[in-house]
A = this chain, B = another copy of it.
Amino acid sequence: MENLPHPDTIIDALSIDCVIFGFKDGRLDILLVKHGEGISAGKWALPGGWITYGESVDDAAKRLLNSLTGIRDIYLEQLKAFGDPNRYPSRRVVTVAYYALVNEENYALIPGFTASDAQWFSIHDLPPLIYDHDQILDYGYRQLKHKVRHEPIGFNLLPAKFTLLQLQELYEAILETKLDKSNFRRKLAKMKLLIDCKEKQKDVSHRAAELYKFDKRVYVTLRKNGMVFGL
């Protein structure tokens, strides 16, 4: 056995970056942090950082996201490793990118660690990003568009109880398209994924819609067996 480094030692050849999607008022957002120190201080970037010897790559992603933004306990999935030899300016760093979908309303952003700020940006109005982060983001967005059509994800972006129109607007925002209301509902009804909360929307200036929530059991089954969410 070699003389191993302390578990907290940073592996300087490997980093993490997270593409976090949020959804609010029919708009698809991306979570960015402003670097408070280091070679990119003052610039906007995907939340990320260094992996240490003692943790798994997955755990590093969770830890970094939480310490930079306050977000915890979310569905965080690996996207891809980005390994161009020149992607990082001063030396050779491979980054493992993750992505997640969250309901913005559930998380107060708390910038911390090396981040001086953390904010949501509309995916259609982003500031310049450091390194190859625009490429990573772009890859993540394409992945999201693809995945949302083949798996019942995307639901993490909504509140626990939501209306069918909210769900439809989410799909429209991700896929950048218009969907037929009636057909959309019929489709959803058929996959028996939604449970009627027997409760109506409040404080809206029009007829209140029924609220629904997800049936976790059906959700898991659909993810396992592979579904086709033809839209």
Contact = CB atoms under 8 A, between A and B. Distances in A.
B78 A96 contact: no
A56 B81 contact: no
A228 B55 CA distance: 38
Contacts of A189: none
Interface residues of A, number: 34
A91 B14 contact: no
Given A11-B13, A228-B228, A55 B2 contact: no
Given A1-B90, A14-B13, A14-B94, A83 B149 contact: no
A2 B81 contact: no
Interface of A: 1-2, 4-5, 11, 13-14, 51, 53-58, 60, 78, 80-85, 90-92, 94, 96, 145-146, 149-150, 226, 228, 230
7 contacts: A4-B91, A13-B13, A53-B85, A55-B85, A57-B81, A150-B150, A228-B230
